[in-house]
Structure 1
Amino acid sequence: MKEHISGWQFFLITVNYSLGTAFFIRPGSMIASSKQDGWMIPLLASVFMLAVLWIWLGMAKVYPNLSIVQLAVEVAGKPIGGFIALLYIWYFIQTSSWVTRNLGDFMKTILMPNTPITAFHIMFLAIACYAAIKGVETIARTSEILTPFVILVMLTIYVCALKEWDWGKLEPMFQSSFNKLMKDTGPVIGFPYLETVTIMMLAPHVKSRLKSALLLGMTVTTLLLSGIVLITVGVLGASRSSHQVYPLYTIVKELQIAEFIENLESTIVISWTIWIFLKLCIAYYCAVIGICQLFKLKNRTGAAIPLIFLIAGIAITLNDNVIGNIAWDKRYIFQYSCFYGIVLPLFLWMLGKFKKRRRKGPAA
């Protein structure tokens, strides 16, 4: 029996997936590149994404009951379509590895420096594997339960941080040229926006309001991402924020409420762990279901369990050099994500429309 999720659940999945890691990792790099104007980068990125969402929704509309993997095989045939499907499966696996490594780095750097990073990887991947076996409905219901807690914590931090707010730290504003801002927007478009193409694997499961859920989810993502950059600069200042790997964690660590409530960093750790876990579950599930669809496997367990070790192995071999990761992100993430988020979806959409018109031609 086919699994179904509501438009509301898909909206929550969109927000959780796009913000899962970006909310904690992206602010520092945006501030480092554009200083006090960093908060404008998500707004510019969202304008670009309107055209991209049009492509994604057009692709989903061609064959609404097929995922990206199934659509590729359907419109491009088994040789070419199968290769495109394999590319997407690899992308889902690679994304899961990036997410797993981000989680491991955070836990090892902030909480348990003496614990082997592989222990964190295996622990969370095992849970993600179980969620993937249970299916998208289970992941969607988990998202419904956990998201309100995460959003409440984030909004509370927003409000509590206002007492440390200093407008002077936001000056001078609007110093970056439009060309400079557009250049700085590229990496952010690549991650997290174009990376969100992964959730289009779930489009066939959405019962209704796919378009509105996706658009609203991206809007909320943009507002929250822009807002946290604005607050980070207003509290820590552009110079200090740009040198922090996790500036939001620094804000919460130094936050004090009513002179006696302090050391609130545990709340942000829990919230970030929930967000990263939800994103990992979604990416993991898409990899598993993609493998099952391409190779006609009926049992998800056989595909899900081996992925634990594959993803953990890829995660542990990723670059340990933070400077190298930042350089790769600035130079290549936009082009790399464009291939999966724009080039391939546009190709599948146009090819699918062409095949549909050709089929209808003789009947007309």
Structure 2
Amino acid sequence: MGKERISGWQFFLLTVNYALGTAFFIRPGSMIASTKQDGWIIPLVAGAFAVLVACIWILLANANPKLSIIQISLKVAGKPVGGLIAIVYIWYFIQTASWVTRNLGDFMKTILMPHTPITVFHVMFLLIACYAAIRGIETIARTSELLTPFILLVLFVIYIAALNEWHGDRLLPMFQSDLIKLMKDSAPVIGFPYLETITILMLAPYVKSRFKTSLLLGLIAVTLLLCGIVFVTIGVMGAARSSHLLYPLYTIVKELRIAEFIEHLESTIVIVWLIWIFLKLCIAYFCAVEGICQLFQLKDRTWIAIPLVLLVSGLAISLNDNVVANIDWDRRYIFPYSCLFSIVLPLLLLILTWIHKQRQKGKELSP
């Protein structure tokens, strides 16, 4: 870990960029498809649940200060069991990086360069992520701090320009879904992107201050941004059309016209998404590399980061390229799968932390 440190503000930006990296473009269509005009409510329900889960993460981090989730596992569960938990988390980080890489490849091949082999996109971005992981979390945090204002500026301009096409009657009728249906439809969104943010706990030792505040405010900002994009998408395109699009925001920008002569602005939104994917991939890749180094007590990240490019690229290629199958897997399994890493294991580690502290107190009191 060395002397690397990031501020609470940088950690806040990393949390927002990590959670929104792919969800901002992929999730709106599925949320609208499930609840139509009430799709904008789903991020609010999912965000509220995520904040509660984040309190578990904060308790775990506070009980084990200056330790990552890999180090916590090794400390409170011992080397055999803790090592197994650490390997499970490292696998999850690698798998997340492969999902992000595949999302990038699918978008580039489907929308921009259909004749280019998808592996080219994977390797191109993974090599940059590899270099960023070697350079360390400070470099990634500063890159995030530099690029985030550009992302927000582009999104703000798009929001303002889309107001000409926004019609409130497309949001009617509202509140047609009951609470049970909203909670059921919110489960996939809770799984991705909210519970996936457990990866951020790998960065806890690097945060100078305000870890708790930055994490909670980051999740709240993610909730508001997701709610806003779904609200705008429904108002501009209508629930029926939006629900059938894989990338509704891209379609909005593609059809947007400003002052009757400025059109085809989709290149701007492509740049924004590539930046977001790049930041999320760098964070997930760094956490995977750092997790391996912490597990095996390695000081040099270089020789772990380089071969990991091949593993992540291979996993990204092996993922199911059937869109219907991916949607079905997301709807059925993403929530329980994410719960294992984000709720079950953290609660187990929290209990083991309490037991570990009780044993330490007992040893101190014994003569």
The TM-score bracket by the shorter chain reads over 0.9
User: 5 Å matches for 1:52-91?
Assistant: 52-91=53-92
The equivalent residue for 1:111 is: 112
The equivalent residue for 1:209 is: 210
The equivalent residue for 1:20 is: 21
1:63 & 1:57 partners in 2: Cα distance?
Answer: 10
Which one is further off, 9-18 or 296-305?
296-305
Residues 51 and 219, structure 2, Cα contact 8 Å, conserved in 1: no
Deviation digits for residues 311-360 of structure 1, max 9, x if unmatched?
A: 00000010010000000000000000000010011111121122112212
1:73 & 1:54 partners in 2: Cα distance?
Answer: 22
What amino acid is aligned across from residue 88 of structure 1 in structure 2? Y
1:12 & 1:184 partners in 2: Cα distance?
Answer: 28
Say whether 1:9 aligns with 2:26: no
- How much does 1:159 deviate? 1.2
Say whether 1:333 aligns with 2:306: no
1:62 & 1:101 partners in 2: Cα distance?
Answer: 36
The equivalent residue for 1:144 is: 145
The equivalent residue for 2:194 is: 193
1:201 & 1:2 partners in 2: Cα distance?
Answer: 16
The equivalent residue for 2:121 is: 120
What amino acid is aligned across from residue 346 of structure 2 in structure 1? P
2:177 & 2:158 partners in 1: Cα distance?
Answer: 28
Say whether 1:267 aligns with 2:259: no
The equivalent residue for 1:360 is: 361
Which one is further off, 244-253 or 46-55?
46-55
- How much does 1:40 deviate? 0.3
1:166 & 1:47 partners in 2: Cα distance?
Answer: 28
Say whether 1:170 aligns with 2:210: no
- How much does 1:151 deviate? 1.1
1:269 & 1:48 partners in 2: Cα distance?
Answer: 31
What amino acid is aligned across from residue 108 of structure 1 in structure 2? K
- How much does 1:50 deviate? 2.2
- Return the TM-score normalized by structure 1: 0.99
2:70 & 2:49 partners in 1: Cα distance?
Answer: 25
What amino acid is aligned across from residue 152 of structure 1 in structure 2? L
2:20 & 2:283 partners in 1: Cα distance?
Answer: 13
Deviation digits for residues 168-191 of structure 1, max 9, x if unmatched?
A: 111111001111100000000000
Residues 119 and 317, structure 2, Cα contact 8 Å, conserved in 1: yes
The equivalent residue for 1:181 is: 182
Q: Following TM superposition, where does structure 1 have runs of at least 4 consecutive aligned residues deviating by more than 2 angstroms?
A: 361-364
- Return the TM-score normalized by structure 2: 0.98
Residues 151 and 272, structure 2, Cα contact 8 Å, conserved in 1: yes
- How much does 1:2 deviate? 2.6
- How much does 1:167 deviate? 1.0
The equivalent residue for 1:247 is: 248
1:356 & 1:61 partners in 2: Cα distance?
Answer: 13
What amino acid is aligned across from residue 344 of structure 2 in structure 1? V
2:277 & 2:358 partners in 1: Cα distance?
Answer: 42
Gaps of 5+ in 2: none
1:87 & 1:150 partners in 2: Cα distance?
Answer: 33
Gaps of 5+ in 1: none
1:71 & 1:210 partners in 2: Cα distance?
Answer: 16
1:307 & 1:86 partners in 2: Cα distance?
Answer: 15
1:153 & 1:357 partners in 2: Cα distance?
Answer: 52
The equivalent residue for 2:228 is: 227
- How much does 1:273 deviate? 0.1
Which one is further off, 157-166 or 12-21?
157-166
- How much does 1:363 deviate? 3.3
